[in-house]
Structure 1
Amino acid sequence: MTIRPLLAPLLGLGLLLGARAATAAVPAAFTATYDVSQGGQPMGQATISLRAAGHGEWIYRKDVKSTGGLAALLGASVTESSRFRWKGDVPEAISYDYQLQTAVKQKQRHLVVDWAKQQVTVDEGKGAQTYPGSPGMVERNTLALALGLALRDGKQQLALPVAVRQQVQVQNFRVTGRETVKVPAGRFDARRVDRTDADRGFSAWYAPDRYPLPVKLSQHDGGDMVMELVSYRQP
């Protein structure tokens, strides 16, 4: 239910095509809800929130609760919580926690960045692994937010360093066109963004002048999962 990161270290958020000279302000706190479907069948609802945590740090959290299909019968839920600091308008990772719970299975991952040592530590309950960090890196949960802010700043093609299980990898994205998208939150003239460096499909539709998150997201890694925006509100 998250965007899967890919490919080799990079320093910071890479701009390959033009952008505005000035950097826009970072987004205010918000709460967004999405309908989630898989294989064309309703699956559940996701709630995504952003809030200030003090001392220059922010919390970005995603909660997905299953309300349909086998996942609902198993009582499946996923929680992802990220702590980060702003590096310009990039949500530079500090920590990330993932928890999957069902009636028959539990899975977790804890990632923390020691910026003094430029080191990432990942623990999935079987012993911690460490690897070098990269300035400006995000992680799997905050990737969609980082993409939305890059689009808002006028970027058409970009690369993102992402902290994953065993290394910092790079994902490459570009705007592939404009499409009209109808979701529960309304109809949008959206920019379609596709991942360009992997066979497994990922597409997201953004209205970056309205929201920093996608109005629709479709990914095929692990099953045809689609998220569609229902509401977006700020305090």
Structure 2
Amino acid sequence: MTLGILPNTQAELLDPALLPPPYVAQYQAHRMGLSIQADVRFETTAQGATYLTQLRPRGLLSLLRDDRIEERSELSLSAQGLRVEHFAHQRTSSDESESSSAQLDWDTAIIRGEHRGQAFEMTLPEQLVDRSALQLALSQRARGGKAEFSLNVIDLNRIVEYHFSVGEVESIRTPLGVLRAVPVTRYDSDRERTISTWFAIDKYYVPVRLEEIRNGQRISLNIQELRWLDPSMN
């Protein structure tokens, strides 16, 4: 059964059977001689999973800016499938720092969190992922089913509905070799930007490229390294 015809439940968003094996990956983006690096670590346990993303400047940019961003998603297994329980975002630099966190209570359908020192509370919709777990949800949708779909995403202290489209399989060149990948694209009309993520079919649909086009300017974050946490898979 493909994801496109599953019932409209939380399990449709995050099916434990469709998760990739635990892994670590490194991505880099280069523009005008400046570089950014993203490190991702995905792990699973008997109780759920964690998805950690860390973003930092490299090279010359690290001399100009010392911003670091860390986002962590904690997911747990339930009768409805894998769902987000806690999300944390932290941005630090020598000048300032800010943080956001949210706890999702599925029993009471309430989200309680804190953003920049201010507490907030929101109603928890039937389906919701955070910005990190969104990559897992998109990778599952890239496997087949609907050509277009929408997802509710908690973005720091607000809930937004994003609309996506699934493209045709492409062959893209990466440091891992030429990979067959499925692009999933979101168009953000408010900011006049398009964000596309390519998921590699032969790498358990791990994201291998993320590209943003804004006002005609393009920047791509490309995978550099991928290592499975199970040594026998490498």
Which of 167, 174, 180 pairs up with 2:171?
180
TM-score (norm 1): 0.79
- Contact 1:12/1:161 (8 A) holds in 2: no
Are positions 1:116 and 2:110 aligned together? Answer: no
Give the structure 2 partner of residue 34 of structure 1: 27
For residue 66 of structure 1, report the CA deviation from its aligned partner: 1.2
Corresponding residue SS for 2:137: helix
Which of 97, 100, 125 pairs up with 2:88?
97
Give the structure 1 partner of residue 226 of structure 2: 232
Gaps of 5+ in 2: 1-7
Q: 1:14 to 1:83 in 2, by over 3 A?
A: closer
Which of 33, 36, 40 pairs up with 1:48?
40
1:56-86 residue CA offsets vs partner (Å, 9 max, x unmatched): 1321101122113445433221111110124
Aligned length: 218
Alignment of 1:17-166 (within 5 A): 24-37=17-30, 39-53=31-45, 56-86=47-77, 91-166=82-157
Instruction: Name the Cα RMSD after superposition.
Output: 3.0
Aligned amino acid, residue 114 of structure 1: D
Alignment of 1:153-232 (within 5 A): 153-196=144-187, 198=189, 199-220=192-213, 224-232=218-226
Gaps of 5+ in 1: 1-9, 16-21
Aligned amino acid, residue 216 of structure 1: R
For residue 23 of structure 1, report the CA deviation from its aligned partner: 8.4
Alpha-carbon distance in 1 for matches of 2:193, 2:78: 30
Report which structure shows greater RCO (CA 8 Å, sep ≥6). 1
Alpha-carbon distance in 2 for matches of 1:94, 1:174: 27
Structure 1 window deviating more from structure 2 (141-150 vs 213-222): it is 213-222
Alpha-carbon distance in 2 for matches of 1:219, 1:87: 34
- Contact 1:51/1:58 (8 A) holds in 2: yes
Structure 1 window deviating more from structure 2 (222-231 vs 27-36): it is 222-231
Alpha-carbon distance in 2 for matches of 1:87, 1:151: 23
Corresponding residue SS for 1:145: helix
For residue 169 of structure 1, report the CA deviation from its aligned partner: 2.5
TM-score (norm 2): 0.79
1:184-225 residue CA offsets vs partner (Å, 9 max, x unmatched): 222122222211463321111122342332211012469854
Corresponding residue SS for 2:136: helix
Give the structure 2 partner of residue 3 of structure 1: none
Alpha-carbon distance in 2 for matches of 1:212, 1:205: 8
**Structure with greater proportional helix content:** 2
